[in-house]
Amino acid sequence: MLESFFEYEFLQNTFYTGLLIGLIAPLLGTFIVVRRLSLIADALSHVTLAGIAFGLLIEKKFAIGITPFYTGMAFSVIGSVFVEQLRRVYKAYQELAIPIILSGGVGLSVIFISLANGFNTDLYNYLFGSVSAVSRSDLWMIIAISIIVLTTLFLFYKELFMLSFDEEHAVVSGIHAKRIHFIFIVLTALVIAASIRIVGVLLVSALMTLPVAAAIRIAKGFKQTILFSIIFGETSVIIGLISGYYFEIPPGGTIVVTSIIILLLSISIKKIWFILSRKKAIQ
Amino acid sequence: MTQKIVSMKQVNYAYENKHALKNINFEVPKGSFMGLVGPNGGGKTTLIKLILGILKSHQGSIDLFGTPIDKFKDWNKIGFVSQKANSFNRGFPATVNEVVSMGLTAKVGYFKLFTKEHKQKIAHAVEQVGMSEYLHENIGDLSGGQQQRIFIARSLVSDPELLILDEPTVGVDTENVQKFYDLLHSLNEKKNITLLLITHDTGTMTHHATDIVCLNKTLHFHGNPLEFSNLSEKDLSQFYGHPLNVVTHNH
Ligand SMILES: Nc1ncnc2c1ncn2[C@@H]1O[C@H](COP(=O)(O)OP(=O)(O)O)[C@@H](O)[C@H]1O
Ligand SMILES: [Mg+2]
């Protein structure tokens, strides 16, 4: 692996991208999970799929060189704006935004795919991820997205944290909830677009939520949850990429299975620890 | 003349199809400990949501610290513990320290980090409510009464001059309710924080409050605890719309 890593640029691109999304996806994912928005990531990834299908269609029919990565990103961001609008319209049924956006995304994807008379392996790669799909220019874009996400989260950390915990209290204290929601959902869209090349449309939300699900079991406090999520996310990405490369399996599958193993470990560790400390407390 | 922290004149408020508050004239003098009682659905929460600016477009005038509410900017002079505070997501991974820090978020402002002084303030607020040893515990691992104290600490950390509490003792056991009132009492006496408290335990509250207000769409009574306890059963049941022997003086 190490040899081919230095030999092939595409492996380097993939590996660096993996490290970046292993950081930003669980980081943003922590906010997504505690705000009970896990499924919104899924909805947005399907809108991204529609964008990708649109990009592939244009590429095929008109030979225009905007890569599907960018059309996917554009659709994802536009979709995120719709999600916010829908959540505002259906205040009491905010989760309704999810099936609306999700089915809209799938519906558009089907239309674009059939207009192009079906696609080849490209689409398969987008669905399940690939170790060879990241180009140098994609990597630069993903670096840019990571910098944007990290800076914004750093700048708005305390406000986002407060909004996630208790929105009413945040609003009463004078936090601009609407604007911050908006920034947050756009960041989510960007992270999804950035992650899709490697984990694929169908599994991108797993990378944002499974590491957090594991972290939440054993962490004390929010910052520690973020830290553990990132450690678990990076571990899953690294193990998943290497094994995916060796066994020639799309990395989406191996990354997600690795995070599920981590999740099961953290649940069992917590259980054992709980039983032991209870024994101690009873004495 | 004592300063009026809150002053409402001829206030009316209606939800889509419900006239919730009618002709409210109401003042909270500085330094008072005001108890707001009334039947469920009487409009208590609505009243304080108006004061807090959560609900807008009322009729009549509301002044806060002498400023009309639409021009009022010093929101961190007002602390608020919501009725929903004890129904938050219990699985939320936040330590006591992190929860209380939220009380400073707005005051510190955008793009700024908490400084050492802020952190001391947080620790001090937690100490004030007697929860120092839990500073680094997850909020979800505490009991209902302890959580309630943490939410008070969160509202105290920005040094408010007015503290509004909406049914803070729901779900708190009797012994802790007593401790809780002692805490409020000392905040009012020693730190001169004006209190506006919505509650159902009229019994305990009358020992601590300086003013009592009864609200059922309109204001039915405004006086001191002595006058309140002298109200006849008949007055009270008329006001509540049903006999009230369950609620009064049950300590
Ligand atoms: N968001 C709302 N929309 C419509 N009606 C409401 C809303 N909130 C409260 N109400 C109605 O307004 C009245 C006063 O409610 P509220 O202020 O919550 O009473 P309290 O806090 O005294 O129990 C009730 O009849 C209630 O049904
Ligand atoms: Mg109420």
CATH number, residue A10: 1.10.3470.10
Asked if A155 is an interface residue toward chain B (Cβ–Cβ < 8 A), one would say yes
Comparing B86 with B92, the larger pLDDT belongs to B92
Interface probe for B, chosen from A31, A32, A160, A168 (most Cβ of B below 10 Å), is A168
Domain count within chain A: 1
Determine, yes or no, domain membership for B249.
no
Determine, yes or no, domain membership for B50.
yes
Determine, yes or no, domain membership for A25.
yes
B169 C-beta closer than 6 A to ligand 1? no
Determine, yes or no, domain membership for A199.
yes
Out of A36, A175, A219, the one facing B93 most closely (by C-beta) is: A219
Which residues in B lie closer than 8 A to residue A175 (C-beta atoms)?
A: 105-106
Q: How far apart are CA A198 and CA A132, in angstroms?
A: 9
Q: According to the model, what pLDDT value does residue B231 have?
A: 78
Residue B11 main-chain phi, psi, to 5 deg: -85, 130
Q: Tell me the whole-structure pTM to 2 decimals.
A: 0.88
Chain A: residue whose CA lies nearest to B88 = A166
Q: What is the pLDDT of residues A189-199, one digit of tens each?
A: 999 999 998 89
Cβ pair B94:A165 closer than 8 A: yes
Task: Give the pair of three-digit tokens for residue A155.
Answer: 């700048």
Least confident of A181-185, B121-125, B141-145: B141-145
DSSP-H helix ranges across A35-96: 38-62, 68-89
Q: Which residues contact A122 (CB under 8 A, 6 or more apart)?
A: A56, A68
Determine, yes or no, domain membership for A228.
no
* Structural contact between residues A266 and A276, judged by C-beta atoms closer than 8 angstroms: no
Determine, yes or no, domain membership for A64.
yes
Determine, yes or no, domain membership for B42.
yes
Q: What is the pLDDT of residues A201-216, one digit of tens each?
A: 888 999 999 999 999 9
Distances (CA, A) of B181 to B31, B174, B210: 16, 11, 13
Pairing state between β B162-166 and B78-81 = parallel
Chain B: residue whose CA lies nearest to A217 = B93
Determine, yes or no, domain membership for B95.
yes
Q: What is the pLDDT of residues B94-107, one digit of tens each?
A: 999 999 999 999 88
Domain count within chain B: 1
| Domain containing residue B187: CATH number | 3.40.50.300
* Structural contact between residues A187 and A240, judged by C-beta atoms closer than 8 angstroms: no
Determine, yes or no, domain membership for B158.
yes
Cβ pair A175:B95 closer than 8 A: no
Closest approach of chain A CAs to the CA of B185, in angstroms?
Answer: 24
Which residues in A lie closer than 8 A to residue B95 (C-beta atoms)?
A: 220-222
Nearest ligand by distance to the CA of B42: 1
Angle at B6 between CA B1 and CA B7, to 5 degrees: 80
Q: How far apart are CA A55 and CA A239, in angstroms?
A: 31
Out of B82, B93, B99, the one facing A168 most closely (by C-beta) is: B82
Determine, yes or no, domain membership for A104.
yes
Q: Report, in angstroms and rounded to the nearest whole number, the Rg of chain B calculated over CA atoms.
A: 18
The residue count of chain B comes to 251
Least confident of A187-191, B1-5, B31-35, B76-80: B1-5
Q: How far apart are CA B195 and CA B33, in angstroms?
A: 5
What is the span of the domain harbouring residue B138?
A: 4-240
Cβ pair A173:B108 closer than 8 A: no
Distance from Cα B143 to the centre of ligand 1, integer Å: 28
Closest approach of chain A CAs to the CA of B56, in angstroms?
Answer: 12
* Structural contact between residues B156 and B125, judged by C-beta atoms closer than 8 angstroms: yes
Chain A: residue whose CA lies nearest to B160 = A173
Distance from Cα B12 to the centre of ligand 1, integer Å: 14
Q: What is the mean pLDDT of residues A143-162?
A: 96
What is the span of the domain harbouring residue A23?
A: 3-205
* Structural contact between residues B135 and B123, judged by C-beta atoms closer than 8 angstroms: yes
Cβ pair A221:B97 closer than 8 A: yes
Q: Give me the residues near ligand 2 (ion), CB cutoff below 5 Å.
A: B 45
Q: What is the ipTM of this complex?
A: 0.89
Q: What is the pLDDT of residues A67-95, one digit of tens each?
A: 788 999 999 999 999 988 888 888 788 78
Q: According to the model, what pLDDT value does residue B248 have?
A: 44
Per-residue b/e over B72-101, b at no fewer than 16 CB within 10 Å? beebbbbbbbbbebbebeeebbbbbbbbbb
Q: What is the pLDDT of residues A44-56, one digit of tens each?
A: 999 999 999 999 8
